[in-house]
Amino acid sequence: MFSIIKSRKIWFTLSATLVIASSICFSVWGLDFGIDFTGGSLLELQFNTQRPSSAELNTILEPLNLGSITVQPVGDQNVILRFTNVDEKTHQTISQILEDKLTQQLADPSQINNQSGVKIFEEVKFSSIGPTIGSELKQKTIWAIIIVLIAIIIYVAWAFRKVSKPVASWKYGLIAVLALFHDLIITIGFFVVFGQIYGLEVNAPFVAALLTILGYSVNDTIVVFDRTRENLTKHLGKDFDDVVDESINQTMRRSINTSLTTIIVLFAVLLFGGSTIRDFVLALIIGIAVGTYSSIFLASPLLVTWQKFGNKRN
């Protein structure tokens, strides 16, 4: 049997390193919030001809005074434009100007089959959010996470109410939440780095992914805690370290296999699902991987460490 508890200093060091690195990255760079939070407009186009460069698109749209325009190529033929919040009339003006200017710039207009109705580009998506809605969404996101964490502590404390020795039932809930903080901070840290390197922005799907990670990760942690609760009643008088170690080893294969199969499916969705759900799936992959690690190598060792600290104080 592999002893997780005896090697807990290694796991604590690894987790602390990742959490500190993520916190530093967040403090220095911060998250790159998208229009769902900051307000603005997003226009995604799919080109039927050679995709114009970012500089060309910026030059065409410059007379419209759209503020800072971000051009993000997606795939082989798509491009996402982000700019200030505009109304529907301006949206139609943008599309028309792009169509006219790009048609003039074509070296060989005959490559477009106008008789068959094929256009230079097709509009894939347009969304516009005001800054007030974006600020309100940011506040609701924070409250949603806080409420979920409080509910988890209450539920776990109630579920483990009959196991008060050698660790009080509420401590199970608090450690589960500490493990969740660990998972969220590291996931956010990865997205801060991805935002700097690849320009990934945080929007509503990322929030949905964080809440999904909370549910998935706490479920994995409670499975291990529940086995610990069962073994405590079966092996009365046995050393708490050994009981927790045995419980982890009994549930480790189940946790790893479940997470691995989920991550394989998510990778398939990431590769073939398109850009619209890319950020959501990427956050899930990172969060589930980190959550599986924390449920095995962090939560239960923290439980043992807290129990030992309490014994020393007594």
Listed in sequence order, the residues at least 6 apart from 283 whose beta carbon sits closer than 8 Å to its beta carbon are 187, 191, 205, 206, 209, 210, 213
Q: Quick one: tokens of 24?
A: 């530093």
pLDDT band at 1 (very low <50, low <70, confident <90, very high): low
Rounded to an integer, what is the distance from CA 209 to the centroid of its chain? Answer: 5
DSSP letter at 77 equals T
The architecture in CATH of the region 40-129 reads 2-Layer Sandwich (3.30)
Residue scoring higher pLDDT (248 or 236): 248
What residue has token string 């095995």?
A: 296
Interatomic CA distance for residues 293 and 18, integer angstroms: 12
Residue scoring higher pLDDT (301 or 118): 301
With a cut of 90, say whether residue 275 has pLDDT above it: no
DSSP letter at 6 equals T
What residue has token string 């590291």?
A: 186
With a cut of 50, say whether residue 149 has pLDDT above it: yes
Interatomic CA distance for residues 115 and 92, integer angstroms: 23
pLDDT band at 116 (very low <50, low <70, confident <90, very high): very low
Give the CA diameter of the chain.
87
What residue has token string 């410059």?
A: 62
The pLDDT assigned to 164 comes to: 59
The pLDDT assigned to 295 comes to: 93
State percent of the chain over pLDDT 70: 93
Q: Please report, for the chain, the start and end positions of each structural domain, with discontinuous segments joined by +.
A: 8-35+133-313, 40-129
> Across the strands, what pairs with 121?
47
Instruction: Return the sign of the alpha-carbon dihedral for residues 162, 168, 174, 180.
Output: negative
With a cut of 60, say whether residue 159 has pLDDT above it: yes
Residue scoring higher pLDDT (311 or 47): 47
With a cut of 70, say whether residue 106 has pLDDT above it: no
The mean pLDDT value of the chain amounts to 86
Q: Residue 117 — left, alpha, or beta (φ > 0 → left; ψ -120 to 50 → alpha)?
A: left
> Across the strands, what pairs with 42?
82, 127
Distance separating the N- and C-terminal Cα atoms of the chain: 31
What residue has token string 């990742």?
A: 18
Q: Is the pTM of this model over 0.85?
A: no
Interatomic CA distance for residues 124 and 82, integer angstroms: 14
234 burial (CB, 10 Å; 0-12 / 13-18 / 19+) is exposed
Fold of 8-35+133-313: Multidrug efflux transporter AcrB transmembrane fold (1.20.1640)
